């Protein structure tokens, strides 16, 4: 996927933040923090993973299916834009 290479630095930064969050969960479990604290850390990590997933899916749609910004067919452009919106909403 060529578009992931173009966005490589940004995507790797997100992955590294998620890695840091996973390490925080590990430290919290090791330190026997309360379950509410661990759940909050896991929820933050899940949000970060969902954000990364949404970004990758949006890029995939734009580069391999239909880019609504460049599509001359208004109906196809609207369909692609709607799909991107649904992905963002679903993974929020």
pLDDT in tens, 8-61: 899 999 999 999 999 999 999 999 999 999 999 999 999 999 999 999 999 999
- pLDDT in the model for residue 6: 77
- pLDDT in the model for residue 92: 78
- pLDDT in the model for residue 5: 75
Give the model's confidence band at 2: pLDDT under 50 very low, under 70 low, under 90 confident, else very high: low
Give the model's confidence band at 1: pLDDT under 50 very low, under 70 low, under 90 confident, else very high: low
How many helices (H) and strands (E) are present in the chain, helices listed first? 4, 0
CA 60 to chain CA centroid, Å, is 12
CA 88 to chain CA centroid, Å, is 9
Phi-psi region of 32 (alpha: psi -120 to 50; beta: other; left: phi over 0): left
Answer whether 80's CB lies under 8 Å from 57's CB: no
């Amino acid at each position: 996927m060529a578009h992931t290479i173009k966005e490589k630095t940004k995507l790797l930064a997100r992955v590294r933040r998620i890695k840091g969050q996973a390490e925080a969960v590990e430290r919290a479990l090791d330190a026997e923090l309360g379950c509410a604290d661990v759940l909050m850390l896991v929820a933050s990590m899940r949000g970060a993973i969902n954000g990364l997933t949404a970004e990758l899916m949006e890029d995939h749609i734009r580069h391999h299916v239909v880019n609504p910004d460049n599509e001359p067919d208004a109906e196809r452009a609207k369909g692609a834009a709607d799909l991107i919106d649904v992905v963002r909403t679903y993974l929020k």
